Chain A
Amino acid sequence: MTDTTSNPQVDTARASELGPIARFLKATEIDTRMLGMIGALLLIWVGLHVISSLRLGVNPLDFDSRTFLTPRNLWNLSVQTSAVAIMACGMVLVIVMRNIDLSVGSAEGVIGMVMGFAQVHFLVRFVGLELGNPWIWVLALVIGLALGLLIGAFQGFIIAYLEVPAFIVTLGGLLVWRGAAWWVTSGQTVAPMDATFQLMGGGPAGSIGATWSWIVGIVACLAVVFALFNGRVQRKRFRFPLRPIWAETLMGAVTCAVIMGAVWLANSYPWPVGIVNRYAAANNITVPEGGLFIAHGIAIPVLMAIAVGLIMTFITNRTRFGRYVFAIGGNPEAANLAGINTRWITMKVFMIMGVLATIAAAISSARQNSSTNVLGTLDELLVIAAAVIGGTSLAGGSGTIIGAMLGALLMQSLQSGMVLLGVDSPLQSIVVGAVLVIAVWLDTVYRKRV
């Protein structure tokens, strides 16, 4: 019943040739590459955990609070990953179209400076809004989004219509926007950020707490089940081949388990003692013996990254624009002959990249509670590495949003792990650079074999 194709010869003949693992992968439609990446991620996590435990001389199974696999460390990891993961979503589209954007880190820097300047100086001193006015963070963000869109449109126009290679345009942008970031305040740091704006950076206030986190988790699980069910109904309606029921159930169960596990982790990380006590005092709560446990829950920047990931996945898979991006990446001439306006699509992709750089800038500057002209330095490397590690081919035409976000998590895991292990920053750079090259090499090997 699983195979309703009208030509059983072809498919059954092939299915019987497959081994049990291949049959499992075929039934669940899991991408082997994705599986490999999840495996690599888990390997890195376990490795970092064991090394950090051994360094402290503790048993890895005790999950000591200073080791890698702890709620606190993983929660911080999720927040640190957000900005890069968000930009990696855009970089997927850029690279799928056979372009590159080397300017994202610098664009993030200048946009962060402008948003910081807007909320700390411009809107307060020149427009005359009072500190704490809710318009401040809204307007600062709107100004940032407009600037990001403009930067993307400008670079995209030069690339698409003036036909200057993206590598050169964005290499120029790397210098131009970094220089511009300095000019905003002649290099001076802008701080502190608007109180509401700061929520985008995470922290105890910038997290949604235990109850809401459970609600988000349950809603996400329901959405997963609904999506699987709906997909099945659609395919049944047109009598297309269906996945076996056990495979559907397994996929749903694993996904929901991962979601609820992540929520449980976020809810296991309590507010720091000092903040809890201050909060208790302010709200007339008596702190019980052994301290008050208030969970962080999911951080707002993480929710923002998930939202961006979902929207970008929707755009790539379900819209005309996304289809065109991939078709152009696969064969630009064919796309052109099919009547697709390839230039305008190229320009739009860079505009999306600019908007995502703004969101990343907001998160990064909110997290630091300041804007500096070095904000986002070298982020372009992490972002490109995330996309490539996540399966985006530099030859164009293939890549996934979820892969790039996992790639960002992988890169950030390495980086955070090295900080935890006390690896000094020059060596960190060496490792990140080497990982990028190795990842591209593995990608080349993989593509030759498949």
Chain B
Amino acid sequence: MADKTAPTTAHTGTPLVDMRNISIAFGGIRAVDDASIDLFPGEVVALLGHNGAGKSTLIKILSGAYKRDAGQIFVNGQEASISNPRDAKKYGIETIYQTLALADNVDAAANLFLGRELMTAWGTLDDVAMEAEARKVMGRLNPRFQRFKEPVIKLSGGQRQSVAIARAILFNARILIMDEPTAALGPQETAQVGELVRQLKTDGIGIFLISHDIHDVFELADRVCVMKNGQVVGTARTTDVTQDEVLGMIILGKCPPGAIPGPGALKIAA
């Protein structure tokens, strides 16, 4: 814990999420290696890195999909025990997975409420109420969406992504994880997601955003955290580094002066 990256000084108080020295290996591959990252209320932290850098794996540890081999997670300063997705949801952590994680054979409403269905007084599924809620939340994200009765496998990539996003914001998340949320979206919907991110920010929600679009990242994120080969190269405020410097972090692992280096930073003989 001695080498833990100190939180950026601009933030005072306890971070919403503080992941410390997280490691996980699959077989021989150290997918995440001693990674530390934190997130404050109302903040957007972008996670960057090549494919296979370990971004999805790191956030899946936070969302309870994977069990970490080592490290600690603190939520609001309290150590959190997250060993499955249900635990994570209890802490107000909602996730939009890169794979979307939708049950393809059921409709949008059923997916939105999967695991947290609305029930009638008789203890049966309240499909009508769930559809009504689904229409509300989908209206906010994708007003043209009308295919509420169809299994989501019949929807377009963008519509499916909207469903996955709607599910994450439906339950008043305090911590939102977005793993490449705009990969299948057109420019208009992407702008809508950007708008949504800003709106959620003002509500005090902390967001981890994984994206390949460095331009978007600089628009939306307060800080960036770059990963390479499972390790954190460095963390920086978007105001303290340039886009080229961040690209240098991603490609070479070179940590610029404006960033706080992590264990994965390229070690140059000083």
Contact = CB atoms under 8 A, between A and B. Distances in A.
B103 interface: yes
Given A235-B128, A320-B119, A323-B125, A333 B101 contact: yes
B115 interface: yes
A335 B103 contact: yes
Interface in B89-127: 89, 95, 97, 99-106, 110, 114-117, 119, 123-125
Interface residues of B, number: 32
Interface string A322-339: 010011111101111111
Nearest to A329: B105
A337 B97 contact: yes
Contacts of B89: 339
Given A337-B65, A339-B86, A320 B125 contact: yes
B130 to A, nearest CB: 10
A448 interface: no
Given A240-B128, A318-B125, A339-B115, A326 B101 contact: no
A320 B117 contact: yes
Nearest to B95: A337
Contacts of B104: 330-331, 397
Contacts of B86: 339
A133 interface: no
Interface in B114-146: 114-117, 119, 123-125, 128-129, 131-132, 144, 146
Contacts of A331: 101-105
Given A7-B144, A320-B119, A335 B128 contact: no
A184 interface: no
A397 B110 CA distance: 14
Contacts of B119: 320
Given A330-B105, A335-B103, A337-B65, A318 B97 contact: no
B85 interface: yes
A163 interface: no
B190 interface: no
Contact of B114 (A5, A238, A338): A338
A319 to B, nearest CB: 6
Chain B interface helix/strand/loop/mixed:
loop
Contacts of B128: 234-235, 237-238, 240
B124 A326 contact: no
Interface centre among A5, A319, A327 (most CB of B within 10 A): A327
Interface string A236-263: 0110100000000000000000000000
B84 interface: yes
Given A5-B146, A11-B146, A327 B125 contact: no
Interface residues of A, number: 31
Given A5-B146, A339-B86, A339-B89, A327 B131 contact: no
Contacts of B84: 339
Given A320-B119, A331-B101, A339-B84, A240 B131 contact: yes
A323 B123 CA distance: 13
Interface string B135-164: 000000000101000010000000000000
Interface in A295-342: 317-320, 323, 326-331, 333-340
A10 interface: yes
Interface centre among B104, B115, B129 (most CB of A within 10 A): B115
Contact of B146 (A10, A338, A339): A10
Contacts of B144: 7, 10
B179 to A, nearest CB: 12
Nearest to A399: B105
A397 B114 contact: no
B100 to A, nearest CB: 8
Contacts of B102: 331, 334
A119 interface: no
A335 B106 CA distance: 11
Contacts of A240: 128, 131
A235 B100 CA distance: 29
Contacts of B125: 317-320, 323
A320 B124 CA distance: 7
B85 A327 contact: no
B124 A319 contact: yes
Contacts of A6: 146
Contacts of A237: 128
Contacts of A334: 100-103, 114
Contact of A238 (B117, B123, B124, B131): B131
Contacts of A397: 103-105
25 contacts: A10-B146, A238-B131, A320-B117, A320-B119, A323-B114, A326-B106, A330-B106, A330-B151, A331-B104, A331-B105, A333-B101, A334-B100, A334-B103, A334-B114, A335-B103, A337-B95, A337-B101, A338-B103, A338-B114, A339-B84, A339-B85, A339-B89, A339-B116, A397-B103, A397-B104
Interface of A: 5-7, 10-11, 234-235, 237-238, 240, 317-320, 323, 326-331, 333-340, 397-398
Given A327-B106, A397-B104, 7 more contacts: A240-B131, A320-B125, A323-B110, A323-B114, A337-B101, A339-B84, A397-B103
The 5 closest A-B CB pairs, nearest first, are A330-B105, A338-B115, A397-B105, A339-B86, A327-B103
